[in-house]
Amino acid sequence: MSAKTALNATYVLFSHKAVTPAAILQPHRDQTRSRCAQAGLVLVAHDTTEFVFSSHREGIGQLRSPHDHGFLMHASLALTADGHRRPLGVLGAHFWTRSIEGKTKKKAKGKTGDKPIDKELESSRWFRQVVVAEEQLGPDIPCVHVADREADSYDLFARLVDRSSRFVIRNRIDRVARSEDEGPTEHIRTLFERVNATIEMSVPIARREPKAVPARGTSLLPREARIARLSIKAVSIQVRKPPYLKDVPMWLDLNVVYVREIDTPEGVESVAWTLVTTEPIDTVQDILAIIEYYRGRWPIEEFFKAIKTGCQVEKLQLETFAALKNAIAMYLVLAWRMLLIRAFARSEPDASANVALSPSEIVVLREMQPDAKLPERPTVAQAFVAIAMMGGYIKHNIPPGWLTLARGLEKLILLERGWSAAQARGPKGRDP
């Protein structure tokens, strides 16, 4: 088959009406469930990202202006809850478009954080993806859902509590609450002023590039990596529902963990998290576990970098929303593998490469990348660099980026498929 014929076949596949992102992802989701079953308790990180294209494509919408052509994806990424936060796979991905008219109407209604969840509202994606993830995992695999401030919704909390779903969600709205039944009401942050710190600890804070947050109409400031000294408080409270919500309980029993940085360097934005959770806060270990669970949200941001920077899906030339969704669904699996290899290379660099690569991939990698000088039994860190070198990485003090890793891994997968096919034919099956 010629390269042109193969390319045309790919376009036909992605554009076929019978092909959907759910069908493409289902084999990966089934394998993800098996990995989760072996891991025990898992974290499910939920977040949304935008895909922006340079020109209009059939079926896609607008994002922040008539010149922003694109659509959104809400993904649910499973991770180990053992502190390593190792990616186990994608449990679900939901794609949708947005119109400028619809966005304007939403803004005109005022507050958005506590709107009741409805099929017509974007906020419904958080609850829908929780259900999707839990149905995929089944009742025997426990999980804790983790999300950032955009998921802070009383209606969402009520629905999760009603279905006994476990969660850790960063608080954005300073709601009215009380510390006991029939007690005086006050705002959550005022309540915390009277609570003594339970723990002080130091944690590493990762470097961050400046980032726009369209959902909040704000931007995150850049920061350098540092060790932050944190003061931590925890309290059980009852949160009161907003007056405009209906068909939800008047009060919700929740736990809240307040994390604040002390002795922040001058000119640096302090770390301040208020985490709403169903997890217990009875012991120091319980509280520290909640903070570790919330830190499990960060890998999904790296996952989005892998899919957009590494796989460069926003440069795809497919002409319809349906075809783009299908292509991105396929790239999600490649992005997960990239994230997995890098996670092992960072957390367990001396582990065998077999934790992230198949035996045949290791053989092909050794043969096709002689400059990497891979030993017979390479470590995952050695394989990580060798894959990046296959994608054009030149060894120096800066670690491989997403783009060279994506190019190298894609080449490795294709070469391994050819090698496996040749091995299956055997000497007698070779052409004369």
pTM of this structure: 0.88
> 33 near 137, Cβ under 8 Å?
yes
The residue that leads in pLDDT, 65 or 299, is 299
Give backbone dihedrals phi and psi of 394, rounded to 5 degrees, phi first.
Answer: -110, 125
pLDDT at 319 > cutoff 60: yes
The pLDDT of residue 220? 65
Domains of the chain (ranges; CATH) run 12-147+297-312 (3.90.350.10), 149-155+167-284 (3.90.350.10), 348-429 (1.10.740.10)
272 beta partners? 260
Give backbone dihedrals phi and psi of 145, rounded to 5 degrees, phi first.
Answer: -85, 135
User: Strand pairing of 166-170 and 87-96?
Assistant: unpaired
| Mean pLDDT computed over 5-10 | 74
% of the chain with per-residue pLDDT over 70: 89
User: Strand pairing of 166-170 and 143-147?
Assistant: parallel
pLDDT at 275 > cutoff 50: yes
- Separation between Cα atoms, residue 139 and residue 164, nearest integer Å: 11
- Separation between Cα atoms, residue 236 and residue 278, nearest integer Å: 10
